[in-house]
Structure 1
Amino acid sequence: MEPAAPGSSVTLRDVAAASGVSLSTASRALDERGTASRSAAAAHVRKVAEELGYRRNSFASSLRRGETRTLGVLVPRLSDTVMALMFEELERAASDRGYFAMVATSGDDPEDERRAAETLLDRNVDGLIMATARLDDELPRRLRERGVAHALVLRTDGVSPSALGDDEVGGYLAVRHLIDLGHRDIAVVTGPSFTSTGISRLAGARRALDEAGITLPDEWQLAVGYGIESGFSAGESLLDSNTVRRPSAVFAANDNLAMGLIAAAHRHHVTVGADLALVGYNDIPLSSRLSTPLTSVHVPLDQIAGNAIDLIVNPGKEPRIRKSMPTLIPRESSGSPRHSSTPDHA
């Protein structure tokens, strides 16, 4: 079968005629929305369409249905590993459902976020997915008031549709692991107090400590940023040789914080996994490749992405806030069980 000559336009009717099927059968076989039919007839139609050089005008088709089959994704920055991984999963989940995802970055300024959201909405996206973090963010409320389809991802304000990991359970698993290894001198380094992730992971950590009858000293509870530099600063504070007492274990509420703590530990001649047990959060790919592989709480980003997309494309289904269960991945950084609760450092 000869492909169409350059400049010619192969129509759906041409494909149907060449395939020996009706126009409606050809249309269903070539519909890119949802899961493609695996029937022999559909496979034959797709093969003929490819040989003829047929290209479906999905944009025109979508406009006829009053939709563009595109979703806007708003993230603070793509230099953050978790944000980049999250967007990849959202893009994959959108494609599986016949949608295309486009991303815009907003930084941390609310006005920049608003402009980025409006830029995406000007492209007539069918909905917005937002991974921006602040609990005091006004954008979700404004979108609700305007009736704009949207979902929050990796965080929640408790009102808008949201897809995230169960951060309280994750914080609990991290600290429970350290307690089960025999630690009682445990510090907790969380993200900013204006984030649902920081609040929930701290709540889970506190629940584990309370169950074990362990008090968290104020100086061992640090709410900082989520970057490596913040982890380094926290480590400097916790591991300074001039402090009266050092923790024997630290829960860092993301892997960037944990890596910053590792750098600070190295500077203070503290060996992670031997002198200091450390647990991170998110289980980014680098975690298992560090010189001392990092124990971390794994978050199922693929499941979260699918939930976020479904909250927009199937808006009537409940629940509106969907939490996926995290799991703890033990590695060398949390060390071996301790036979005594006495800290290694005075």
Structure 2
Amino acid sequence: MSGSRSSGNGRPTIRDVAREAGVSIGTVSAVINERGQVAEETRRHVQRFITELGFEPNNTARSLKRRRISSIGFVVPDLDNPFFAAVAEGVQRGIGDNDILLMLCITWSQTEREEYFARILRTQRLDGVIYLTGTGLPSSSLLELARAGSVVFVDEVLPGIDVPFVSSNNLAGARAIARHVIEQGHRRIAIAGGPPRLWTSEQRLAGFRESLAAAGIDTDAAPYVAGDYSERSGYLAAARFLLGPREEWPTAVLCANDLMAIGVMRYCRENDIAIPAELSITGFDDIAAAELLQPALTTVAQPGLEMGRAAAELLLHRTGVRPEPPATTHFQTSVRIRNSVTGAA
């Protein structure tokens, strides 16, 4: 029976419910929004037709009229990565005192979980979604979610889905830190890259290689291993780079994020490789632990908390709750020079 008596556009409307239930549109609206004086028998009667027709109230449209929203989703790969945790905290701070429920969805960078959450969030009819992909792969459910309501991307962008995007300047940050390493005299430079499909990873790799090429270093000959932004993948990359005679080892490793840099440092400690005397190491993100490491990590800082806050403010602006958009949706990066890089021997 569900959907068989719709007005013809494929999705039942509030007008369809009112006609089938034999009540006014205002009565249906009062039942949906739980307001007004509606007799309990009438409420149950209307609810029965809402269920039979498969009618889904448009929370976003209702919220625009009330100039408030009640719930948003935040899709994130994990919270083990301190940068992602900072973005999540920023999102929560961004919704602030607006009495909004934040639904946290952790995907562990699994395609099937991203698809699952996109489908669930769409059917739940949340007022908006902030999306941080861990796979770089768009799904049909995410495309439908983006078309159906307010979606904002943060940190990562997906091809073929045109939605607002909060980002930092990954390319410039990667260029700058690679240039710093080269200025210390390093020529044998390896790259521990991130997941190949992710926009951030591709931007950082491009920035590293642009600076190497500008210095006359053959980028095709530079050792490269793709990881997954985890400490373990940095450790495994170091095991690949530091094989054979020491005189053939790289003198520096550019890492796609701080966790991978920590993995490289752990491998060096376990194998008595001195940092930075024998190997200089850089990261990206500037997580809180970066300056506490021994030696402190030279890295690129990007403001995860501020990015999360901006994403939340942008979503509130798009749903009509916040009159002004955030001050910026594109943040600058900067190099933090510490002790993990020294001059090449």
User: TM-score range with shorter-chain normalisation?
Assistant: 0.7 to 0.9
Give the secondary-structure state (helix, strand or coil) at the position aligned to 1:297: strand
CA distance in 2 between counterparts of 1:179 and 1:142 reads 46
Task: Work out whether residues 108 and 134 of structure 2, in 8 Å CA contact, stay in contact via their aligned partners in 1.
Answer: no
Which residue identity is paired with 1:236? A
Task: Work out whether residues 68 and 124 of structure 1, in 8 Å CA contact, stay in contact via their aligned partners in 2.
Answer: no
Residues 1:298 and 1:74: Cα distance change in structure 2 (over 3 Å): same
Partner residue, 2:276: 273
Give the secondary-structure state (helix, strand or coil) at the position aligned to 1:128: strand
Partner residue, 2:215: 212
Partner residue, 1:325: 332
Which of 186, 199, 202 is the matching residue for 1:196?
Answer: 199
Cα drift, residue 101 of structure 1: 2.6
Cα drift, residue 312 of structure 1: 1.8
Q: Percent identity?
A: 27
Q: Does 1:334 align with 2:341?
A: yes
Residues 1:163 and 1:114: Cα distance change in structure 2 (over 3 Å): same
Which of 314, 318, 328 is the matching residue for 1:315?
Answer: 318
Cα drift, residue 141 of structure 1: 2.6
Give the secondary-structure state (helix, strand or coil) at the position aligned to 2:273: coil
Task: Work out whether residues 110 and 135 of structure 2, in 8 Å CA contact, stay in contact via their aligned partners in 1.
Answer: no
Q: Does 1:254 align with 2:257?
A: yes
Cα drift, residue 333 of structure 1: 0.5
Partner residue, 1:52: none
Partner residue, 2:138: 137
Partner residue, 2:117: 116
CA distance in 1 between counterparts of 2:167 and 2:97 reads 20
Per-residue CA deviation, residues 231-256 of structure 1 (Å, 9 max, x unaligned), is 01100111124476111111101011
Residues 1:63 and 1:306: Cα distance change in structure 2 (over 3 Å): closer
Give the secondary-structure state (helix, strand or coil) at the position aligned to 2:240: helix
Q: Does 1:298 align with 2:301?
A: yes
Task: Work out whether residues 133 and 196 of structure 1, in 8 Å CA contact, stay in contact via their aligned partners in 2.
Answer: no
When the two structures are superposed, what TM-score results if normalisation uses the length of structure 2?
A: 0.73
Task: Work out whether residues 89 and 308 of structure 2, in 8 Å CA contact, stay in contact via their aligned partners in 1.
Answer: no
CA distance in 1 between counterparts of 2:69 and 2:317 reads 16
Task: Work out whether residues 231 and 260 of structure 1, in 8 Å CA contact, stay in contact via their aligned partners in 2.
Answer: yes
Cα drift, residue 217 of structure 1: 4.2
Partner residue, 1:236: 239
Give the secondary-structure state (helix, strand or coil) at the position aligned to 1:187: strand
Partner residue, 2:87: 86
> Where does the alignment leave 5 or more consecutive residues of structure 2 unmatched?
1-61
Give the secondary-structure state (helix, strand or coil) at the position aligned to 2:290: helix
Residues 135-174 of structure 1 mapped to structure 2, 5 A cutoff: 135-138=136-139, 139-144=141-146, 146-157=147-158, 159-174=162-177
> Where does the alignment leave 5 or more consecutive residues of structure 1 unmatched?
1-60
When the two structures are superposed, what TM-score results if normalisation uses the length of structure 1?
A: 0.72
Residues 1:243 and 1:272: Cα distance change in structure 2 (over 3 Å): closer
Which residue identity is paired with 1:78? L
CA distance in 2 between counterparts of 1:187 and 1:219 reads 6
CA distance in 1 between counterparts of 2:254 and 2:72 reads 36
Give the secondary-structure state (helix, strand or coil) at the position aligned to 1:332: coil
Cα drift, residue 207 of structure 1: 1.2
